[in-house]
Amino acid sequence: MAEITLKLEIQGFKKEKLEELEKDIKLFMRFKLARDALLKEWEKRFRNSELSEEECIKLGRKVNKSTFKLWEEKGWL
């Protein structure tokens, strides 16, 4: 596993705030890595698609609306 060390000069913060910041940075990095992996996979899968960018956007919006509706029905929102 790779490790990234980030050094920041921060003064005047309580220990709890610094721990919260550390958790937030780790979470952000996990999301970023997951997003990058998904985009790479989607690029590979849809490389030969014949849909235009506009058609993809319309389909994406339709999926988003359907997903939102489903989550509302399940009480998740």
pLDDT at 1 over 80: no
Q: How far is the C-alpha of 30 from the C-alpha of 22, rounded, in Å?
A: 13
Confidence band, pLDDT 50/70/90 cuts, at residue 6: confident
Q: If phi over 0 gives left and psi between -120 and 50 gives alpha, with beta otherwise, what is residue 39?
A: alpha
pLDDT at 27 over 80: yes
Give pLDDT tens digits for 30-72. 999 999 999 999 999 989 999 999 999 999 999 999 999 999 9
pLDDT at 12: 84
Whether residue 10 contacts residue 18, with contact meaning beta carbons closer than 8 Å, is answered with yes
Helix (H) or strand (E) holding 64: helix 53-74
